[in-house]
Chain A
């Protein structure tokens, strides 16, 4: 399926090709910290299935628990997180941050990874009082 998306300020836009069945949640502590959220939602592209249309993301390289270096790309103007990928040359897949996709309503995560560090209150999420708009 083809997707497109962009950052909040509009500087970075992209299109991507990915299988919606591969969409996942990542509960690793790096995802929690970098995004300001409890987890991130990610969809891996097919190989080389990511194309920047405008702008150039800033790249931050983190060391994963495996020891591998992982590129984290974000907009340096508005801070929107765009994707993660490998540092090596050659064909690569891009873990696109689902929140940046125009079609995000159509993407349902199929798998939750790194659940050992999942926030414990997520199991009771539905019981946390809800407000339609501003709290």
Chain B
């Protein structure tokens, strides 16, 4: 599936070819901290199937539990998270943050990773009172 997306301020735009069946939620504690939320969602690109079309994301390299260095890309101006990928050279899959994808309504998470650290209240989400706007 071909997609495209952008950060909030519009400085960074990209296009990608992704495997929508690989779309997932990540409950790892790094995703919780960096996103400031309960979890993040990603959709994996084909190998090297990601291209920045404007702007240059800033890269932060974290060390995963596996010991692998992982590049975390975000917009240096507005802070929108764009993707994660293996650090270094070579062909790679880009895990694109689904929220920045223009076609995000067509991408539904198919599984939930790192569920052992999921926030404990998530099963009760449907019963937390809802307000349509502010």
Partner of B113, one of A40, A110, A118, A134: A134
Q: Size range of the interface on A?
A: 35 or more
Whole-angstrom CA separation of A90 from B35 in the bound complex:
28
Please state if A79 and B100 are interface contacts (CB–CB under 8 Å): no
Count residues on chain B whose CB falls below 8 Å from chain A CBs.
60
Overall SS of chain A's interface: mixed
Residue B62 is within 8 A (CB to CB) of chain A in the complex? yes
Within the complex, which residue of B77, B98, B100, B128 is in contact with A112, where a contact is CB–CB below 8 Å? B128
A-B contact pairs, 18 of them (CB 8 A): A7-B34, A25-B128, A31-B37, A33-B80, A36-B82, A36-B99, A40-B35, A41-B37, A78-B72, A79-B58, A82-B36, A99-B32, A99-B34, A111-B130, A112-B125, A115-B130, A132-B114, A134-B113
The answer, yes or no, to whether A126 is at the interface (CB within 8 Å) is yes
Report which A residues bind B (CB closer than 8 A): 7-9, 25, 30-41, 58, 60, 62, 66, 72, 74, 76-82, 97-100, 104-105, 108-116, 118, 121-123, 125-126, 128-135
Known: A78-B72, A82-B36, A99-B37. Contact between A34 and B78, CB under 8 A? yes
- A115 to chain B minimum Cβ distance, whole angstroms, is 4
